[in-house]
Structure 1
Amino acid sequence: MSEGFRAETTVSALDAPADGVPEDWIAALSSSGAEQEAALRALHSLMLRAAAHQVWRMRSALPDASPGTVDVIVNQAADEAMTALLRKLHTFEGRSRFTTWAFKFAILEAATDVRRLQWQHREVELRDLDLGRVPDDASDGPERQAEGADLARALAEAMHTCLTPHQRRVAIALLVDGVPIDVLAERLGSNRNALYKTVHDVRQRLRADLTRRGYLPELAARGDAESDIPTASAGSS
C-alpha cells in the first residue's frame, strides 16, 4: 500500500465499482465453495481500501506513523471489520449500496484502532467535578461573561447534585477531557453501549434540572434540544 494511494483515496473513490465483485454480495457471501471464497477476497480488498483511507486521515494522531505500523493497523482493522460485518450480514436491508454499508465497518474499526494507539501510553484521569473552577472567556464583554459564569455555575451545581460520582467522572472524561469512548470502556472494563447509556442518562438529568431552574427552555425538557447543555464547559481545568 503506497503513500500515494492513501493520500489520493477519497470517500467517493472508495465506493466506486470495481471489477470482479459479486453482483449480489449477500448471496455470494452466504453461499459456499469457490463463490464464497471469491466474495470474501473481494470484500477484504474493499475493507483494506476503506481502512487505509481512514488511517491516512488520522495519521497525525499516531505515535508512530511509519509505513510498517500503518500497514499493521490497516490490515488489523480490515480483518476486524470483516468479522463484524459477517456477524451482521443478516441485518443488511439494502437501503444503501452494500459497499457503502461495508465501508462503515472498516472506517469505524480503523478509527477505533488509531484512537486506541493514540491513548495507549496516556493516563486516563477519572477526575471528579471541581466546583471552584468556572471558565472565563476574556473575549466576551462583562455582561456575557457574567451570563456565562452563571450558567457554568448552574451546570456545575446540577452535575454535583443530580449525578452519581461515576456519572460525573464518565461525563468529564468523555465530554470535557475528550477521552475516546472505546478507550474509556477498555480502561473501565466496560463497553461502549454501557457508556453511551451513562452519557444519555447524564444529559437527561442535567437537562431536566437546568430546565426546572429556568436555564433551558421547556422545549429542551422534551429531549429536542440536547445540544443546549454546555456540558464541555463545566469543570474544565
Structure 2
Amino acid sequence: MTDGTLAGVELAPTHPDAAWHRDLTAEGPEGDEALARLRTTLLQATLHQVWRLRDQLPGAGSGDLEDLAEQAANDALLAVLRQLETFEGRSRFTTWVWKFGVLHAGVAVRRQAWRHREVALADSLPLTDATPTPASVLEAGELRRAVELAIQRDLTPHQRVVALALLVEGVPIDVLAERTGSTRNALYKTLHDARRRIRASLTAAGLLDSPTPRSPR
C-alpha cells in the first residue's frame, strides 16, 4: 500500500462529463463499459477512504481492507445508479461520484469496527460524582446535572435513547440506524429535536444565554 491506496488498482480513464449519463443508460457493450469505468472510479474512492480509516480496524490486513473497499464500491455503484437522475452538473461527474465512494467506504469501516461490539441502548446517564471540587469544576458539574435532568425530564424515551447512544456512547449513526431498524435521516431528526429541547431547558435554568434575535433588514 502506498500513497493512501492499495496496490493493483488501475486508474479510471478520463471521460467527458456530458458522456457519462448517455453511456451509463446505454444498452449493450457501451453501457457495460460505462459501468466498468464507473466502478473503477468508485473503487479508487473506497480504497482511498478505507486506507485512510484503517486505524479503526487494527486487526485487518491488506486483503481485508481490499475486500471491504470492494464491497463498499459495489454498494456505492448501486447508490449512484439509483440517484443518477439527480446529478445537476454543479461539479464534475467524477467528483460527484467520488463522494458516494467515500461515504459508503466510511459506513463500511464503521460497521466493521462495531461488528462485534454491543450497542447498549441506555435510557439514563450514570450518576454524577458529588465529591466537592474547585469552583470551575463545580460549575461544570452543575451544567452536567442540568443536562442529565433535561435528558430525563424533557426528552421522549426514543429521543433519550438516541441522544445517549450518539452523544454519550459514541455509536456511529449508521451503525445505530442498522441496529434499530431506522434511517440516518430519522436519527438526525430525532437528535436535532433532542438537542433543541435540552438547549431550551438549559436556557430556562439560566445556564445558557437566550438566542439573540436577528435584527430586521
State the TM-score, normalized to the length of structure 2.
0.86
Amino acid at match of 2:118: E
**1:32-70, CA deviations, whole angstroms, 9 ceiling, x for partnerless residues?**
333322221111111010000000011121153212211
State the TM-score, normalized to the length of structure 1.
0.79
- Distance in 2 (CA, whole Å) between partners of 1:132 and 1:27 is 60
Cα–Cα, structure 1 residues 7 and 51, in superposed 2: closer, same or farther, change >3 Å?
closer
Name 1:225's counterpart in structure 2: none
- Distance in 2 (CA, whole Å) between partners of 1:172 and 1:210 is 17
2:111 to 113, 116, 119: 116
1:21 aligns with 2:19: no
Q: Please give the secondary structure, in 2, of the residue aligned with 1:126.
A: coil
* 8 A contact 2:13–2:37 mirrored in 1: no
**Post-superposition, which runs of at least 4 consecutive aligned residues in structure 1 deviate over 3 A?**
5-9, 17-20
Between the two proteins, the alignment pairs up a number of residues equal to 209
Cα–Cα, structure 1 residues 22 and 213, in superposed 2: closer, same or farther, change >3 Å?
same
**1:5-49, CA deviations, whole angstroms, 9 ceiling, x for partnerless residues?**
53599xxxxxxx963424422222233333322221111111010
Cα–Cα, structure 1 residues 98 and 23, in superposed 2: closer, same or farther, change >3 Å?
closer
Query: What is the RMSD of the two structures over their aligned residues, measured on CA atoms?
Result: 2.5
Cα–Cα, structure 1 residues 109 and 221, in superposed 2: closer, same or farther, change >3 Å?
farther
Name 2:4's counterpart in structure 1: 6
1:143 aligns with 2:132: no
Q: Please give the secondary structure, in 2, of the residue aligned with 1:218.
A: coil
- Distance in 2 (CA, whole Å) between partners of 1:33 and 1:124 is 46
**1:64-95, CA deviations, whole angstroms, 9 ceiling, x for partnerless residues?**
32122112111110010010011001111111
1:203 to 195, 203, 206: 195
2:62 to 44, 64, 67: 67
* 8 A contact 1:211–1:221 mirrored in 2: no
1:51 aligns with 2:43: no
2:82 to 78, 87, 92: 87
2:186 to 180, 194, 205: 194
Identity of aligned residues (%): 49
Unaligned runs of 5+ in 1: 10-16, 223-237
* 8 A contact 2:12–2:41 mirrored in 1: no
Cα–Cα, structure 1 residues 132 and 90, in superposed 2: closer, same or farther, change >3 Å?
same
